[in-house]
Each structure stands twice: as C-alpha cells, then as structure tokens.
Amino acid sequence: MKSSPLTILFLVLLFQENLFSATADRLLIENTCKGTPSYNLCLSVLLADPHSQNADLTGLAIIAVYAVKNNGYQTLQQIEALKKFHPELMAALTQCGEVYKGVVDVDVPLSINALNLGNPKFAEDGMADTAVESQACERSFQDHAQTSPMTNANKAMEDVANVARAIIRMLL
C-alpha cells in the first residue's frame, strides 16, 4: 500500500501511547528503587519481571520477594554442587542448606501471604529473617574455621532480601 502520512502517524501514536504508560510505570519503578539500598539491583530485579509494567507498590514488593525465592532455589542448587566437590565443608554446607530451605519454605511464603492479606509488617519480618539466615550461613563456615565458598552467594541473597524489605517498608 502507499506509505501515507496517516500510516506513519498511526505508528507514531502507537509508539507514543506505549511510551506514555511505560514512562509512568518506569517512573514508579525508578522511584521505588531509589528508596532501596541497591538501586541497580532493584531495577534489574523489577524490570526482569514483565508484571512490573503494571504493578502497584504491593505488586513490586511481591516481585522482589519472588526474586528472593528464585535466588534461594539457585543457592540451594549451588550448595548441593558444593557438597559433591567439597566434602570437607559438609557440616557448614548442611547448615546452609537448612537455612536456605527456611528462606524458600518459610520466609518467602510468609512475606507473600502478608502482602496479599494486607499486613506488610509481617512481610518485612520474612525478608529480615532471610537476611539473617544468609548471614548465619556465611558465619557457619567461620564457626568451623573454614573459608566460605559462598560469600558472594550469601551477599547476593542478603542484598536482594534487603531490597525486598525496603520496598515493603514503603507500604507501612
């Protein structure tokens, strides 16, 4: 068909409309992340989930908590792998396995539940607990006088949990 100015206009309007709503939601995400201790981490976590495009603050908090869950699962896999290749670290790794299981089985469902039931205070507790557990895992290597192979993983979990916690605090 003939490339008419109207077709171009149509495409421009299409684009502009997308940009308009995308800008508004992007602004919410950016402002929210500014209130967390790790702006870039927060951005990447929220933007990685397409639901963040249309989410309100509670929705963003839920996305962040799911990121904690995913992180927890990955860390559990890492622990299993470490157990195979570093049997000398078994005691500490077993403890870490327990605490990360706690994160995934207890802390995350508690936080999601609290956000859905409308009492974010308890969601904050779940994420605070997650940070404690990741620190406990890190310390368990020190307690066995060993070097931790999980320092980055534990720090990463602590950081994501603190991002989630900061977003949840905005709901209080």
Partner 1 sequence: MMASLSDVENSITTSTLPYSYAPLPNGEQPAGNDRPVHSSRKTALFLVSVFLAVASLVALFAGNGPVLPKNLNTSAVPSTAGMPEKVVPLSRGVEKGVSEKSFHPLLGADNSFPWSNNMLDWQRTAFHFQPKKNWMNDPNGPVFYNGWYHLFYQYHPDAPVWGKIVWGHAVSKDLINWRHLPIAMETDEWYDEQGVWTGSATILPNGELVVLYTGSTNESVQVQNLAYPADPSDPLLIKWVKYPGNPVLVPPPGIDNKDFRDPTTAWKTPEGKWRITIGSKINKTGISLVYDTEDFKTFELLDGLLHAVPGTGMWECVDFYPISKQGENGLDTSVDGPGVKHVVKASMDDDRNDYYAIGTYDAYKGKWTPDNPTLDVGIGLRYDYGIYYASKTFYDQNKQRRVLWSWIKETDTEASDIKKGWASLMGVPRTIVLDKKTQSNIIQWPVEEINLLRTNLTVFKNVVVESGSLVPLNLPSASQLDIVAEFEVDKKTVERLNVADIAYDCAKNGGAAQRGALGPFGFSVLAHEGLAEHTPVYFYVAKGVDGNLQTFFCADQSRSSNANDVDKSIYGSIVPVLKGEKLAMRILVDHSIVESFAQEGRTCITSRVYPTKAINNNAQLFLFNNATATKVTASVNVWQMNSAHV
Residues that bind partner 1 (CB under 8 A): 1-2, 4, 6-7, 9-10, 13-14, 16-17, 20-21, 24-25, 27-28, 31-32, 34-37, 39, 54, 56-57, 95, 98-99, 101-102, 106-107, 110, 113-114, 116-119, 121-122, 125-126, 128-129, 131-133, 135-136, 139-140, 143-145, 162, 165-167, 169-172
Rank residues 131 and 153 by Cβ distance to partner 1 and give the closer one: 131
Nearer to partner 1, 89 or 107 (CB): 107
Minimum gap (Å) between residue 153 Cβ and partner 1: 17
Distance, CA of 102 to chain centre:
16
Cβ pair 167, 130 in contact under 8 A: no
Closest CA to 107 of 78, 149, 136: 136
What secondary structure letter does DSSP report for 145? Answer: T
Task: Give the three-class secondary structure for 85.
Answer: helix
* SS3 category, 61: helix
Q: Which of 43, 63, 77, 48 is nearest to 123 (CA)?
A: 63
> Nearest approach, Cβ of 38 to partner 1 (angstroms)?
10
